[in-house]
Amino acid sequence: MKILTLTFLTCARKSCKPEPTSYPLHPTSAELEIIPVDFNPLFLRALLPRLDWPTLRILCEAFGLPGLQEEAPEEDALFLQPEEGGAMEDVEVQGEKGKEVVEDVEKKGEEETREASQLAKDLHHLLLETTMQEGKLVCGCCGHEYAVKEGIANFLLPAHLV
Amino acid sequence: MSRPEDILPPDLYYDDPTSKKYTSNSRIQNIQASMTHRALALLNLTEPSLILDVGSGSGLSGAILSAVPPEQGGPHTWIGMDISASMLAVALERDVEGDMLLADAGQGVPFRPGTFDAAISISAVQWLCNAESSVESAPGRLKRFFEGLYASLRRGGRAVCQFYPRDDKQKKMVSDAAIKAGFGAGLLEDGGGTKQVKVYLVLTVGESGDITGIVAGMDGVDVEDHRKRRNKKGERPNKRDEIIRRKHRMEGKGKVVKATTKYTGRKRRIAF
């Protein structure tokens, strides 16, 4: 299970839903594994406003991963500023697109090939490539333990807990 | 037509052999793929999104979500939920890209509010129309699912659920449950009236609640509006009918009402 998923999961019990302690779930005795995933900076950009930064910091601490910066980064921090790599990209865009002279297309191409910063690459590595393979997730409210096996968490509740 | 949900609950029906058979069957693969593409078209996503796949099974639909080319706004990242452990085991073997949870959609959706851009569900919701124990009921399970889904989608998000309703009653039960949870809902039928009919429940969060505008622009879609229209001003109903209706209502309340005759609702003109 990706850390990305972990930052969004809450306890499945109905009685826990209104309690603030039911989020985030606390991982215990976790085994981590790195599974490479294609880098997608546009997805990160769309995701960033939804990410709960304090939670991510708590999770990193629980896993013993290197600490994150204290404040959530701005959207612009995910990409290098156009001045730095702009000239080089222009050449690339022209080289790839060849004779396509339509301005809109070129502009769009530039937007997409804006180079991602080191921060974006680190975030991608943390959120999408680091996965929890084995372990348990504990709800801070009711103390229910959700087992994680082979990267799949078991969120089935017995009938008396629903 | 056999309905697997009448035979066994989903976690028992999709055991190891059935899950393998289901996933390797090329006919099922084709049908699932075409339905997923249709659902994606209805979602109309323009940038890489986080998608919830309810009843993701062995990841047949998820693989398509991960494979959307960048020109069409992909590739999307998805998180799947399924109740069958065997199906998820097949998904692990197939090495799909998304994350998966073993969870019962009828117990709610365990994600914090505003997590997903969109949700998709292929051939899963009909399983929620069966209650497997006496402590839960089909409407209750649908209610928890749609309420959980509504909360976990961001405002302006969309969900498309393809399902096989047993009859019109079940179709209405599912769409009513969605509307009650707050969604703007509409049903899209492909191949209506034939045996191969595919029903898509299109849901919107936080938009006006009128979904006809979303599908109206698509090719080969006719909008049939079954909503009751309110009479416009100026098109008042007949005065006599109105009086009779009101008299009837008063009668129902136990009031003494004069009998309705040919003079009811007539003007008393001066007869000279």
The ranges assigned to domains in chain A are 3-72+104-161
Residue given tokens 């090939």 in the structure block: A113
Asked if pLDDT for residue B77 goes beyond 50, the answer is: yes
pLDDT at A101: 41
Q: Compute CA distances B42 → A87, B36, B148, whole Å.
A: 39, 10, 21
Q: Is A150 on the interface with B (CB under 8 A)?
A: yes
Beta bridge partners of A152: A149
Q: Work out the minimum CA distance from A42 to partner chain B, whole angstroms.
A: 6
Residues 13-52 of A with CB under 8 A from B: 14, 17, 23, 37-38, 40, 42-43, 46-47, 50, 52
Q: Is B12 on the interface with A (CB under 8 A)?
A: no
For B120-155, write each residue's pLDDT tens digit: 999 999 998 887 777 788 889 999 999 999 999 998
Beta bridge partners of A147: A136
Residue B161, helix vs strand vs coil: strand
CA distance B223 to B203: 16
Q: Among partner residues A4, A14, A42, which is closest to B47 by beta-carbon distance? A: A42
Which position has the higher pLDDT, B212 or A26? A26
Which position has the higher pLDDT, B192 or A3? A3
ipTM above 0.85, yes or no: no
Burial of B236 (0-12, 13-18, 19+ CB in 10 A): exposed
Confidence of residue B257 (pLDDT cuts 50, 70, 90): very high
Predicted model pTM? 0.79
Instruction: Count A/B contacts: CB-CB distance under 8 Å.
Output: 87
> In Å, how far from its chain's centre is CA A153?
18
- The residue-averaged pLDDT of B80-86 equals 91
- Tell which of B12, B47, B50, B72 to mutate to test the A interface (max A CBs under 10 Å): B50
**CA atoms lying within 13 Å on the CB side of residue B264:** 17
Instruction: Give domain limits for chain B.
Output: 4-216
pLDDT at B192: 74
Q: Among partner residues A9, A42, A157, which is closest to B107 by beta-carbon distance? A: A157
Asked if pLDDT for residue A94 goes beyond 50, the answer is: no
Q: Among partner residues B97, B111, B117, which is closest to A9 by beta-carbon distance? A: B111
Residue given tokens 């191949």 in the structure block: B191
Q: Per the structure block, which two tokens stand in for B229?
A: 């229209």
- The residue-averaged pLDDT of A139-143 equals 87
Segment holding B80, helix H or strand E: strand B77-82
The CB density around residue A87, as the number of other CB atoms within 10 Å, is: 9
Asked if pLDDT for residue B220 goes beyond 80, the answer is: no
pLDDT at B145: 93
Which position has the higher pLDDT, A69 or B159? B159
CA distance B115 to B154: 6
Q: Per the structure block, which two tokens stand in for B71?
A: 């020109």
Q: Answer yes or no: are the C-beta atoms of B198 and B35 closer than 8 Å.
A: yes
The CB density around residue A56, as the number of other CB atoms within 10 Å, is: 20
Q: Which CATH superfamily is domain B4-216 in?
A: Vaccinia Virus protein VP39 (3.40.50.150)
Q: Work out the minimum CA distance from B49 to partner chain A, whole angstroms.
A: 6
For B15-30, write each residue's pLDDT tens digit: 888 888 888 889 999 9
pLDDT at B227: 66
Segment holding A32, helix H or strand E: strand A26-34
Asked if pLDDT for residue A112 goes beyond 90, the answer is: no
Confidence of residue B88 (pLDDT cuts 50, 70, 90): very high
DSSP one-letter code for A136: E
CA distance B13 to B71: 39
Asked if pLDDT for residue A95 goes beyond 50, the answer is: no
Asked if pLDDT for residue A46 goes beyond 90, the answer is: no
Q: Among partner residues A4, A47, A152, which is closest to B102 by beta-carbon distance? A: A152
For A4-24, write each residue's pLDDT tens digit: 999 999 988 888 888 888 888
- What's the per-residue H, E or C state across B171-217? HHHHHHHHHHCCCEEEEEEECCCCCCCEEEEEEECCCCCCCHHHHHC
Q: Answer yes or no: are the C-beta atoms of A48 and A73 closer than 8 Å.
A: yes
Q: Is A5 on the interface with B (CB under 8 A)?
A: yes
- The residue-averaged pLDDT of A119-144 equals 88
pLDDT at B213: 66
Q: Does domain A3-72+104-161 have CATH number 2.20.25.10?
A: yes
* % pLDDT > 70, chain B: 90
Q: Per the structure block, which two tokens stand in for B176?
A: 């009513």
For B162-218, write each residue's pLDDT tens digit: 999 988 899 999 989 998 998 888 888 887 778 888 999 999 887 665 666 666 666
pLDDT at A91: 40
Q: Among partner residues B49, B104, B112, which is closest to A46 by beta-carbon distance? A: B49
CA distance B154 to B138: 26
Interchain proximity A155–B70, CB inside 8 Å: no
Asked if pLDDT for residue A107 goes beyond 80, the answer is: no
CA distance A12 to A17: 7
pLDDT at A103: 46
- The residue-averaged pLDDT of A35-62 equals 87
Find, in chain B, the residue whose alpha carbon is nearest to that of A9: B111
Q: Compute CA distances B112 → B121, B148, B261, whole Å.
A: 19, 9, 63
Q: Work out the minimum CA distance from A10 to partner chain B, whole angstroms.
A: 5
Q: Angle of helix A103-113 relative to helix A82-97, nearest 10 degrees? A: 130
